[in-house]
Structure 1
Amino acid sequence: MNDATPACWDLLDDQAATVAGMIGQILQKPLRELGPEQARALVDSTPSTDPITPLDHVGQLTVPTRSGTIAARLYRADGTSPDGAAPALVYLHGGGFVLGTLDGADELCRAIAAGSGWTVVSLDYRLSPENPYPAALEDCLDAYAWLIRSAPDLGIDPDRVAVGGDSAGGNLAAALCLHRREEGSALPVAQVLAYPAVDDRFTRASWSDFADAPLLGAADAQWFWEQYVGAGHPGGDPLAAPMRARSLRDLPPALVVTAEVDPIRDDAEAYAQRLRAEGVEVSSTRYTGVFHGFFTEVGVFAQTKAAIDEVCVYLRALA
């Protein structure tokens, strides 16, 4: 590390520090200065022709929503009969509500399906700022409801469906659970939240301690939030920022994964602590030496494999 390197980078392990340096070479400007189109061109993943985790069945879906349709991708674990009734995880990719694609979450979804035996359904919700809040949440709510209705046709058990996501996707997963609780609908059997963006106040210590973290600094994270809700949004809406909910009681059990060097870390861990305090069964793990975004980097970090293994063990215990 040189004198220009932020102090928080000293917490990264060797592999994470190397990757952080590579990201710095690719992103010559902060994401907020690149803007949505250029950031997508630099960051979003392209399809893999040789996946790390091959599966016999990966299928494309078109899911109806109140605003039209969205794309989805279904991953069926090898040895699972399409005529059976497998448990399923609805997965919502990250990307600050602005970035992210089905391809970017592809390796992760493959690994979870293979390791857990669960079917994984990955959703390609609409992105901001072109489609601001609540568009992405509405897509996820509608797609989840459709999946429950269509479960028998998809070889899925409608009584064993969980929801999960990373970063912005973790926000959407948590908000989906809150919305379904409020409307009295059947809840997911669990929520799997990887460094979820759950608060809109940006005041906990990690926002200053890791303001210059790799990939996602504090200023970029707040810029993403403004793209999602709009610069003039008054704040305090629990379906936009789940930590604002008056109560977290009666929500599904949760597995919360965080990264040590991440401005969002303390918000996500506070959400886990509040869930636990309000009677929700919670398992929470902080992965040291890595930064925001590590969970989807299959084959890059040892911590990624450990976190995916933790998710798979957690899901298998639910089945």
Structure 2
Amino acid sequence: MSSVDHSRPPGWRGLLDHESLQAADFLAEVLPRPLHTLGLEGVRRFTAPQPPPRITQVASVTEDAATWTDPAGARHSVPVRVYRPHDSGPEPAGLPCLLYLHGGGFTVGSLDGVDEVCRLFSVGAGCVVVSVDYRLAPEHPFPAAVDDTRTAHGWLVENAAELGIDSHRIAVAGDSAGGGLAASLCLDLQRRELPQPVLQLLVYPAVDDTFTRPSWTEFADAPLLGTADARWFLRQYVGDEGVPPSPLLTPLQAPSLAGLAPAHVITAEVDCLRDDAEAYARRLEADGVPVRHHRYPGVFHGFFTEIGTFTKAADAVTDACAGLRKAFGGAALPV
């Protein structure tokens, strides 16, 4: 007797839960061909977020500029959006802080696209959230986004007292390209022999450029982001000629991950980036970094920030907030 479940659709569609299958069908209607075939301006129009719903209320949201002078004396500035939670009682040393980096293949994405998830983090983890409007490729190729991430973090550390945050309780997080930037920040701090964040929250991070692991083939035509799309985004970031190898571009290829911040790694089951992200989690663990990894079944790339669309997005954010609270309190990663 055959063990095949004929009630389930074939291929990756058979792995999706009901909400994700509905979302995939909708995407197939509005985007009948691969995303990258729209060209740069078309991709940006398609991915531009609608005005954020601002469902979750926080104490304040302000626009600011993170301005920082690097050790060589160069002055840098990057726009940021700062979310402050409601009064949670006295914090003599300042509130904990989460530095958040949006996704979008280093080419698209904006502060508005992650507005709701930043609000949820601020309330759920009881922290200030600083969302970074880093420069986008191809106008600003690698390492512009890495430089802007360094600038935002340096600004937080140097101005912690003025900002009302505790410089010893800063975490970093990001989704997709932003997850790759969060990982790169930790490696950059390692290289400069500076203190690590209390936690790196990496949501299906982009950490490699080899496109060799099985998920790149298995989910080559998955919803929203396929393998050809990912290759196109990488070309926007590094140019047709590429760039010299750098762990700040491909953290998975770093010689050592020892001493990096504890990591909470989130992956989606139906995602071409899945195996790279999970390989990074294993590398971190092998190099002695405390790691918690959670693969969410039945969902595809991009689910984490779509709070109103996927039940598992809310579950993942709630779980991440619990991990952040533990890290801000000095406790180990939850099992």
Is the pair's TM-score, using the shorter chain for normalization, greater than 0.5? yes
Q: CA offset at residue 82 of structure 1?
A: 9.8
Asked if 1:73 is matched to 2:81, the reply is yes
How many residues align structurally? Answer: 314
Aligned to 2:265: 256
3-state SS of the aligned residue for 1:207? helix
Correspondences of 1:274-285 after superposition (within 5 Å): 274-285=283-294
1:17-63 per-residue CA deviation (whole Å, 9 max, x = no partner) reads 11111122222432211122111111121332x42211121111112
Bigger Rg, structure 1 or 2: 2
Aligned to 1:270: 279
Asked if 1:62 is matched to 2:65, the reply is yes
3-state SS of the aligned residue for 1:180? helix
- Matched letter for residue 298 of structure 1: I
Q: CA offset at residue 176 of structure 1?
A: 0.7
- Matched letter for residue 73 of structure 1: R
Q: Percent identity?
A: 49
Work out whether residues 76 and 151 of structure 2, in 8 Å CA contact, stay in contact via their aligned partners in 1: no
1:60-108 per-residue CA deviation (whole Å, 9 max, x = no partner) reads 1112255753211111111247985011010000000011000000011
Question: CA distance change for structure 1 residues 185 and 92 in 2, over 3 Å: closer, same or farther?
Answer: same
Q: Which runs of 5+ in 1 are unaligned?
A: none
Match of 2:206 among 194, 197, 202: 197
Q: Distance in 2 between matches of 1:288 and 1:185?
A: 36
Question: CA distance change for structure 1 residues 31 and 57 in 2, over 3 Å: closer, same or farther?
Answer: same
3-state SS of the aligned residue for 2:139? coil
Correspondences of 1:219-234 after superposition (within 5 Å): 219-233=228-242
Deviates more, 1:15-24 or 1:160-169: 15-24
Aligned to 1:40: 44
- Matched letter for residue 108 of structure 1: V
- Matched letter for residue 41 of structure 2: E
Match of 1:11 among 12, 15, 31: 15
Asked if 1:25 is matched to 2:29, the reply is yes
Work out whether residues 53 and 110 of structure 1, in 8 Å CA contact, stay in contact via their aligned partners in 2: yes
Q: CA offset at residue 235 of structure 1?
A: 5.9
Query: TM-score under structure 1 normalisation?
Result: 0.94
3-state SS of the aligned residue for 1:133? coil
- Matched letter for residue 53 of structure 1: T
Q: Which runs of 5+ in 2 are unaligned?
A: 1-8, 69-73, 329-335
Work out whether residues 81 and 155 of structure 1, in 8 Å CA contact, stay in contact via their aligned partners in 2: no
3-state SS of the aligned residue for 1:285? strand
Aligned to 2:177: 168
Aligned to 2:254: 245
Query: TM-score under structure 2 normalisation?
Result: 0.90
Q: CA offset at residue 193 of structure 1?
A: 0.2
Aligned to 1:126: 135
Aligned to 2:332: none
- Aligned CA-pair RMSD: 1.7
